[in-house]
Structure 1
Amino acid sequence: MELGTIERELYVDASPEIVFRVVSDPDHVQEWWPDEARYETVVGSTGEILFASPDGGQVEALTVVDVDPPTRFSFRWTHPAGEDAVEGNSLLVTFELVAQGEGTLVRFRETGFRERGWEAAVLEAQYQDHVQGWDHFLPRLVSYAAEQARRSGAARS
């Protein structure tokens, strides 16, 4: 089993402009992924995301890597606190957005697992945790973006 990259393709019934806002703007991101998101949508911005839980939750640092509306947004995350996010100490998440019919094809990719230098058991556990997480959260992105498109369509009427 390859434990280096997670890739998904999703069709979203919304324009690339709407999907771009949904995957990049922290106010939208926290509606489908973490419980809180704090960062600016500009290259080099650092911030954090919080996944709440009864024991206090998990905070992850995040650094915006690429912002190219409405076609691409990427960030690095999971790097150690106090360190800059670079290849080798973080995972890279990329959303590529391609107009397709009335909607958008989202090409999702998370890379960098092998580059972390984790021992095999930790690598597999981290990879599987992220696979399960994205399999839970990405469908929420699809439905949330489609709802945003319906709302913006209703607002134009």
Structure 2
Amino acid sequence: MVADRIEREVYIQAPVDRVWRVLTTPEHIRVWYAFEGCEIDPRPGGTLRFRWDEQGEFHGRVEKAVPDALFRFRLASEPDRALGAEPGDSTLVEFALSTEGPGTRLRLTESGIQELAVPDAVKAKHAEYAAATWSTALEELAALAAASHN
């Protein structure tokens, strides 16, 4: 059975407002996640695009953005495909931030993998790849936020 959700959590030694900036601004996202470029309108209904040389460009749409607290978006399941209104064409990615002592607790959830309109083998590959990618990305995000002062 393919997992329907991926959950990751990391404690970041940086204040929540700095983590929010690193999480939601293109110049930072290019460092910790979308290495070949990123375009983002972080307001609800705004669009986003993440680019990688090997994987292509993934489109998304922001569902909710509460500064210093929550960033949620739908992300197309396949590269170079516009995000439609069809169920099964995207997963839901959510970053929840909370202040914890002098730093920030960041919780990531990617859900909706079971609802993707693709064969189970493709769902399994997506879940495996996303789990590894998010783990690495959150490590990079944490390091960048802890070292960043802008």
Aligned counterpart, 1:111: 111
Q: CA deviation at 1:86?
A: 5.8
Aligned counterpart, 1:75: 73
- The amino acid of 1:41's aligned partner reads P
Matching of residues 8-87 of structure 1 within 5 Å = 8-35=8-35, 36-53=37-54, 57-79=55-77, 81-84=81-84, 87=87
The Cα offsets for residues 98-138 of structure 1, whole Å up to 9 and x where unpaired, read as 10000000011101100113222111111101111112211
TM-score in terms of structure 1 length? 0.85
**Between structures 1 and 2, the one with greater helix share:** 1
State whether residues 15 and 103 of structure 1, in contact with CA within 8 Å, keep that contact through their aligned partners in structure 2. Answer: yes
The Cα offsets for residues 61-102 of structure 1, whole Å up to 9 and x where unpaired, read as 121111101100111112562442565320111110010000
State whether residues 41 and 47 of structure 2, in contact with CA within 8 Å, keep that contact through their aligned partners in structure 1. Answer: yes
Aligned counterpart, 1:143: 143
- The amino acid of 1:8's aligned partner reads R
Aligned length: 147
Q: 2:134 and 2:74 mapped to 1: Cα distance? A: 15
Secondary structure at 1:114 match in 2: coil
Q: 1:114 and 1:108 mapped to 2: Cα distance? A: 18
- The amino acid of 2:106's aligned partner reads V
Q: 2:101 and 2:86 mapped to 1: Cα distance? A: 36
Aligned counterpart, 1:155: none
> Which structure has the greater CA radius of gyration?
1
- The amino acid of 2:23's aligned partner reads V
36-45 or 93-102: bigger deviation? 36-45
User: Which ranges of structure 2 fall in alignment gaps of 5 or more residues?
Assistant: none
Q: CA RMSD in A?
A: 1.7
Q: 1:147 and 1:38 mapped to 2: Cα distance? A: 23
Q: CA deviation at 1:47?
A: 3.0
State whether residues 76 and 85 of structure 1, in contact with CA within 8 Å, keep that contact through their aligned partners in structure 2. Answer: no
Aligned counterpart, 2:89: 89
Q: 2:18 and 2:86 mapped to 1: Cα distance? A: 29
Q: 2:135 and 2:144 mapped to 1: Cα distance? A: 15
